[in-house]
Structure 1
C-alpha cells in the first residue's frame, strides 16, 4: 500500500533534502550536502545525510542512481514531484500574502 501524502511525515531535514534535490541540476550526494551546509551554516555529517536520503528513496520520493563506484545521483520521482507540488499549494494558502500575492 502506498503512503498517501508522506511529506508531513518527514523531518524538516528530510524535507530540506527533498527541496534541494528538486532545485539542483546535478543532485549528487556531495552537491546536496554542500547546499545544505551553506543553508544551515554548519557541517552536515554523512551519518545524517545518507540516512535522510535513504528515507526519501524508501518512501519512493527520490530515485537513487549510481553514477560511478563512489557517487550517487538523487532525482525526484513522479511521486516526489506530486508531493512537492501538493506541499507548495498547501503552503501557498498560508503564505500567499507574504509572497506578495
Structure 2
C-alpha cells in the first residue's frame, strides 16, 4: 500500500498542463527563474497538445507581467523545423545578451 500511495503522490505532484488550472506549475517556473538566476525562459509546447497550448498562453502572460523575457515555441517530434528553431532561439539569446 505504501508503494502505491508513494507512486500516486509522485504522479499527482508532476507539473503538467493536464492538471489544469495549474497555478503551481507557473509558480514553479517563476521560482526556478529566481533560483537559477535565469535571464529568460523558453517555453516549448508540442503541436496538437491543446492543454499545453492553452496553458502556454498563461505562462507567457504571467512571465511577461513579471518582467521575465519568454520565448514560446511550438514544435513536434521531428527535426524538420530544427533550423527555424535554431534561428528563433539564437535571436532570443541575442536579445537577452543585449
Question: Based on CA coordinates, which of the two structures has the bigger radius of gyration?
Answer: 2
TM-score normalized with structure 2 length = 0.31
TM-score normalized with structure 1 length = 0.31
**Greater RCO, 1 or 2 (C-alpha within 8 Å, sep 6+):** 1
